[in-house]
Amino acid sequence: MKAPSDFQLQADLRRPGRRVTNQRWLILEVVRGTDSHPTAEWVYQKVRRRLPRISLGTVYRNLKLLAEEGLIQELESRGFGRYDGNTARHDHFTCQRCGRIFDLEVRVDPSLGRRIGARTGFTITHHRIEFYGLCASCVLAAGHAKGGETSKRARHRP
Amino acid sequence: MKAPSDFQLQADLRRPGRRVTNQRWLILEVVRGTDSHPTAEWVYQKVRRRLPRISLGTVYRNLKLLAEEGLIQELESRGFGRYDGNTARHDHFTCQRCGRIFDLEVRVDPSLGRRIGARTGFTITHHRIEFYGLCASCVLAAGHAKGGETSKRARHRP
DNA sequence: TTCATATTCAGGAATGATTCTTATTACTAT
DNA sequence: ATAGTAATAAGAATCATTCCTGAATATGAA
Ligand SMILES: [Mn+2]
Ligand SMILES: [Mn+2]
Ligand SMILES: [Zn+2]
Ligand SMILES: [Zn+2]
């Protein structure tokens, strides 16, 4: 499973009745160019630097379209949507203090879906594992701030 | 891990500066009385039959409060929140055709969090596994409707 | 190249779930 | 009974997202 080349992406994106506009291409590049699992708003701000006239609606429309094409993936998160340029199967860790989402390097047993499917009667196509807790830097920060609510860092929202 | 008695729930709910109103109690009973992982709106409609003057805002406020007390749990779902009266650790299967969420009877290795935590440097407090695919009845229905988009059943939204 | 057509765009209005505000009501403890 | 606190109903406000419009633009055939 290797990263698709730009050429490959062009091919996936260029299909009858579908254009590759700068807006669309740039949005794809921005999402692929970060591992921060950004929100639509974050992508919008990033893309705006190069295409100042782009509208937020265009960002939303294209993020959805790119996810349907399978070129990016949409994460299941509470409140607002987040996107992931890494389409390889991988799991996530969410820090409950700073809100950041990290990719897990270690791979959890990929046959889990098949095993559970066989045992339950459900036809399982895929599964998702999310871990929650504190990231390394938040463990430190939480240690310092013993006894005070004051130093709770503002939550990230990439 | 056994179901808490009503007495125990009363104790958890009754703490300094916190009352047990009929609204609150009834909302808890409704969520505990179903395994359908209902939305706030569904709970509202159910509670309304017994307390016709209750407001939707009250339902939202109490669902959140009950989740904070640990008497119910809030699920991570896209678009709108769902609640679960079963606070025991268990996993879920979501049918992508009818939208229903089922409890998994089989328990997936509960030491997963500890194992991954040790390997990644994250301090993991808990994790969540969600399976996706088709439930038994939707597999049947999808089989019948070969070649036609027409018979897609309307999505449940308890 | 020119033309016809379909796609995409920007901008802004609309939607829908959730939270917030406020005046009123219901408990609880004295 | 009284005072003080917590919770409520009703509805306004918020926020992310989707939808709608008319204009702009890419594409492919002639
Ligand atoms: Mn990722
Ligand atoms: Mn459940
Ligand atoms: Zn953190
Ligand atoms: Zn189903």
Chain B residues near residue A139 by CB distance under 8 angstroms = 123
Q: DSSP states of chain B as a string?
A: --PPPHHHHHHHH-BTTB---HHHHHHHHHHHT-SS--BHHHHHHHHHTT-TT--HHHHHHHHHHHHHTTSSEEE--SSS-EEES--S---EEEETTT--EEE-SSPP-TTHHHHHHHHHS-EEEEEEEEEEEE-HHHHHHHHHTTT-STTPPPPP--
Cβ distance of A108 and B130 shorter than 8 Å: no
CATH 3.30.1490.190 fits B89-158, yes or no: yes
Domain B1-87 matches domain B89-158 at the CATH topology level: no
Nucleotide with smallest C1' distance to residue B81 CA: C17
At A60, the pLDDT band (50, 70, 90 cuts) reads: very high
Ordered by start, the domain boundaries in chain B are: 1-87, 89-158
In Å, what is the separation between the CA of A53 and the C1' of C12?
A: 14
Chain B nearest-CA distance from A19, in A, is 26
* Average pLDDT rounded to a whole number, residues A19-39: 95
pLDDT digits (tens, 9 = 90+) for B32-57: 999 999 999 999 999 999 999 999 99
At A74, the pLDDT band (50, 70, 90 cuts) reads: very high
- Answer yes or no: is pLDDT of B130 > 90: yes
| Mean pLDDT, rounded, of chain B | 89
pLDDT for B81 equals: 94
pLDDT more than 90, % of chain A: 66
pLDDT for A15 equals: 84
Tell me which range, A88-92, A133-137, B17-21, B25-29, is most confidently predicted by mean pLDDT: B25-29
Q: Which CATH number fits domain B1-87: 3.30.70.370, 3.30.70.1450, 3.40.50.2000, 1.10.10.10?
A: 1.10.10.10
